[in-house]
């Protein structure tokens, strides 16, 4: 269970005005309504040079280190919300994970929400990221949430579809029990 610790939601889309961001906004709002302490880390805020200039690659990057110290290190739980890219997850997300010291993922709780305009809700991408997280020693919530046809479920900023809102509520409930 999540107790007096916060979760970091990682929005894993490299696109501005993305559907992923709408899901992230909604998830964050719903989690805050449950009195969870939430921080949102948007991978779009990473400068491109950050991806390959980090300590893991042998090059220091103070800005990345500060973000990792703020969003990854103290979080008890990481919620990855990310779109489907070519049957998987975005390379930007993988590059970010590769740039973080692998030990920082060990023992963390991880939950996933897959986003797609198609009908499968990024099931394959969540499977791929789940394998990566297991390899890093994270504890992955068994309930991954696929959101299909996401472009039909929202207004300009958030998800508005009642069934999807209910699924997000249930995902947060399961996360609280995990």
Measuring CA to CA, how many Å separate 15 from each of 33, 43, 90, 128?
Answer: 27, 9, 10, 21
DSSP 156: S
165-174 tens-digit pLDDT: 999 999 999 9
Would you mind telling me the total number of residues written for the chain in this entry? 178
pTM for the full predicted model: 0.93
Range 6-177 has CATH code 3.40.50.360: yes
98-155 tens-digit pLDDT: 889 999 999 999 999 999 999 899 999 999 999 999 999 999 999 999 999 999 999 9
Helices assigned H by DSSP within the chain: 19-33, 62-67, 91-99, 123-135, 162-177
The pLDDT value given to residue 65: 85
The pLDDT value given to residue 74: 94
The Cα 59–Cα 111 span in angstroms is 30
Q: How confident is the model at residue 50 (pLDDT cuts 50, 70, 90)?
A: confident
The pLDDT value given to residue 56: 65
Higher local confidence (pLDDT), 158 or 57: 158
């Amino acid at each position: 269970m999540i107790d007096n610790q916060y979760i970091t939601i990682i929005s894993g889309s490299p696109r501005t005005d993305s559907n992923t961001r709408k899901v992230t906004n909604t998830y964050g709002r719903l989690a805050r309504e449950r009195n969870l302490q939430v921080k949102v880390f948007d991978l779009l805020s990473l400068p491109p040079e950050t991806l390959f200039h980090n300590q893991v690659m042998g090059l220091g990057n103070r800005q990345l280190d500060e973000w990792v110290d703020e969003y990854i290190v103290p979080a008890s739980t990481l919620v990855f919300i990310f779109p489907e890219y070519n049957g998987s997850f975005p390379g930007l997300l993988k590059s970010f994970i590769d740039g973080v010291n692998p030990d920082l993922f060990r023992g963390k709780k991880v939950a996933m929400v897959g986003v797609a305009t198609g009908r499968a809700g990024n099931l394959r991408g969540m499977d791929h990221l789940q394998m990566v997280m297991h390899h890093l020693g994270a504890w992955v919530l068994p309930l991954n949430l696929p959101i299909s046809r996401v472009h039909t479920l929202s207004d300009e900023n958030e998800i508005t579809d009642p069934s999807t809102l209910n699924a997000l509520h249930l995902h947060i409930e399961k996360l609280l029990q995990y």
